[in-house]
Amino acid sequence: MRVGIFPNLVKKESAALVRQLIGICEKYDAEYYLPAYVGQSTQHVYASIKPEHLRPHLSIFDTVDVAMVLGGDGTILKLAKNFAGTGIPICGVNLGSLGFLYEVEGKSLESRFADILNGHYFLEERSMLHSELHYDDGLVQILPTALNDIVIGHGNVGKMIRVDMSINGRFVHQYPGDGLLVSTPTGSTGYTFSAGGPIVAPNVKCLLVTPICPHLLLKVPTVLNENDTISFSVTNSRNVVSLSIDGIIDIDFMQTMVLEVRKSDKKLTFMRFNENYFYKNLFTKLISAE
């Protein structure tokens, strides 16, 4: 088995966990590789790693059979576009606060590694979002695939924007407010939840549209069929409007553009060990927040 190790280089706990995981790989005669990052921030993690275990950032996705991602949900979000559609299963090892995408803690790392070698796991596929910008000159820009959400928001606090939404080519409604969120079930526990949207189990086949601080009475989120195509445009806005993809990539959204969002053909694959892990993580997180 060829193991890819993807640490969060910002978290100070990463170095010790990387060393632990490398020791486990060597104990079980598993090949292991890390992305060949360079820079001062990598020194505490990469200082003792031999060059033959490093691979260029993009080619590593053609090298490994399983990806061990060490960090939080944000670490997986940053890597999602690279793993999308590859079929490489992700095993998330949690560092710090409880993550919704993670199931393995450092203390159980070796036992879970043994489970993987013995085939004691199942694969879970998460849906993703495909989005594209249509310009008035006919140009179409394909945007990065999103695991969580796509946010239409304003740049200036206190100034409202108006977002028109159409579903399957038919105009539905204009939303005045701070913006709109389109999310997958995976994204329902993120910004969508903070904006008043529902929490949806990851195996539910749907898309979610949630208004952000809407003006007037239309404050309810909308649950759509996963095969619907949603189009958005901004009208009569004197404010700066931008698109945010998984909270990582920001793009200007002009009045001459139309944003089209639908379910992506690509999916993200996770390794799971407990059928009930989602609800266990969910209620642990909610109770700890009380």
DSSP annotation string for the chain:
-EEEEEE-SSSTTHHHHHHHHHHHHHHTT-EEEEE---SGGGHHHHTT--GGGEE-TTGGGGT-SEEEEEE-HHHHHHHHHHHTTT-PPEEEEE-SS--SS--EEGGGHHHHHHHHHTT--EEEEEEEEEEEEEPTTS-EEEPPPBSSEEEEEESSTT--EEEEEEETTEEEEEEEESEEEEE-TGGGGTHHHHTTPPP--TTS-EEEEEEES-SSS----EEEETT--EEEEE-S--S-EEEEETTTEEEE--TT-EEEEEEEEEEEEEEES-TTHHHHHHHHHHHHT-
Tell which CATH classification among 3.40.50.410, 3.40.50.10330, 3.10.20.30, 3.30.70.980 matches the domain 2-121+273-288. 3.40.50.10330
CATH 2.60.200.30 placement within the chain: 130-264
C-alpha of 244 from chain center: 12
Alpha carbons 257 and 1: distance in angstroms, whole number: 46
190 is in an annotated binding site: yes
**Tokens representing 127?**
């849906």
Identify whether 73 is a catalytic site residue: yes
Q: What is the pLDDT of residue 154?
A: 85
159 is in an annotated binding site: yes
Of 73, 137, 164, 246, which one is the catalytic site residue? 73
232 is in an annotated binding site: no
| pLDDT digits 0-9 by tens, 227-257 | 999 999 998 767 789 999 999 889 999 999 9
| pLDDT digits 0-9 by tens, 26-67 | 999 999 999 987 555 566 677 788 889 999 878 899 999 999
N residues, the chain: 290
Q: What is the pLDDT of residue 199?
A: 95
Q: What is the pLDDT of residue 281?
A: 84
Q: What is the pLDDT of residue 42?
A: 66
97 is in an annotated binding site: no
Q: What is the pLDDT of residue 39?
A: 57
191 is in an annotated binding site: yes
What is the assigned CATH class of domain 130-264?
mainly beta
Q: What is the pLDDT of residue 100?
A: 87
**Tokens representing 281?**
């993580």
Please list the ranges in the chain whose pLDDT falls under 70: 38-44, 96, 98, 156-158, 217, 237, 288-290
192 is in an annotated binding site: yes
Helix axes 14-27, 109-117, angle to 10 degrees: 40
